[in-house]
């Protein structure tokens, strides 16, 4: 079975054709439970997200800030497995028909097996993988298997990336490019700032792929700001924080993230 890279590309192209950015939501698998995480993914789609990234919880994340680390800890203590991540992808995609990716550090895939992981992700209806810590120069085997299974390989670029390095990264990637708008870890910010706009400009000079901005966006105003220059707006910590502050009331958490997704969806549609 082939994965859904085409669905991802078509979804991003459709948003562009509407004259807006796509809204991309991030949620970790297994949080607050496996079933709760599946319902959370459906809820952000219901609220207006175009794409969802499902995080594979990791015990030693290098990119994730305290909010997502806390959710990952809860998921790991709950015994979340890669099979649960695949189930989350499958059920979120089957319920909505929309593109679902996995965001993961490299070590779990390396241990699990590249062929096994890509085959199972494609079979689950996944659209691809975001790999924040896989060096491009070491990615050939992954990209071969991902390509064979119809999966996007999304690499992360940062403000520190030099122009030549950006060109190497974007040439190897597919689906879209994840632009980390700030140096540091994930989390909500007061302002996303000019650094993100400069990074998007430099990245777009190297590729025809959509460039989507993450790290820091938490409200409709910031989403509208980023939507003026990015092809997609990625929001994670703000959703996870709502589930955390619901303090076990899953229904309230789901209502909160559905409402936030609606506000953000309006934000990415605002014209300058």
Q: Exposed (0-12), middle (13-18) or buried (19+): which is 17, by Cβ within 10 Å? A: exposed
Q: How many CB atoms lie within 10 A of CB 49?
A: 29
Contact predicate 57/80, CB 8 Å:
yes
Active site residue 53: yes
The SS3 of residue 173 is coil
User: Which is the catalytic residue, given 39, 50, 53, 84?
Assistant: 53
The CB-side HSE value for 187 (13 A sphere, CA atoms) comes to: 13
- Out of 39, 64, 84, 120, pick the active-site residue: 64
**Collapsing DSSP states into helix, strand and coil, what is residue 181?**
coil
Strand partners, 28: 55
Cα Rg of the chain, angstroms: 17
Per the omega criterion (within 30 degrees of 0), is the bond before 32 cis?
Answer: yes
Return the half-sphere exposure (C-beta side, CA atoms, 13 A cut-off) of residue 213.
33
In the annotation, is 64 catalytic?
A: yes
51-55 and 22-28 strand pairing: parallel
Tokens describing residue 55: 């995080």
Known catalytic residues are: 53, 64
């Amino acid at each position: 079975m082939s994965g859904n890279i085409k669905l991802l590309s078509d979804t991003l192209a459709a948003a562009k054709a509407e004259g807006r950015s796509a809204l991309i939501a991030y949620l970790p698998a297994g949080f607050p439970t496996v079933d709760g995480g599946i319902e959370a993914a459906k809820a952000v789609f219901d609220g207006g997200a175009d794409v969802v990234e499902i995080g594979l919880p990791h015990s030693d994340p290098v990119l994730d800030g305290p909010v997502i680390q806390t959710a990952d800890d809860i998921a790991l203590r709950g015994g979340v497995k890669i099979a649960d991540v695949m189930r989350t992808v499958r059920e979120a995609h089957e319920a909505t028909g929309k593109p679902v990716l996995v965001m993961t550090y490299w070590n779990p895939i390396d241990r699990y097996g590249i062929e096994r992981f890509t085959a199972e992700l494609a079979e689950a209806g996944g659209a691809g993988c975001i790999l924040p810590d896989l060096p491009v120069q070491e990615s050939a085997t992954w990209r071969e298997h991902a390509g064979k299974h119809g999966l996007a390989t999304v690499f992360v670029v940062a403000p520190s990336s030099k122009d030549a390095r950006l060109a190497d990264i974007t040439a190897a990637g597919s689906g879209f490019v994840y632009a980390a708008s700030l140096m540091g870890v994930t989390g909500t910010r007061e302002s996303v700032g000019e650094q993100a706009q400069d990074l998007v400009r430099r990245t777009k000079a190297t590729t025809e792929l959509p460039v989507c901005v993450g790290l820091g966006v938490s409200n409709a105003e910031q989403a509208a700001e980023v939507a003026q220059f990015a092809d997609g707006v990625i929001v994670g910590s703000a959703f996870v924080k709502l589930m955390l502050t619901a303090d076990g009331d899953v229904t309230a958490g789901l209502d909160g993230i559905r409402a936030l997704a609606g506000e953000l969806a309006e934000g990415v549609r605002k014209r300058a």
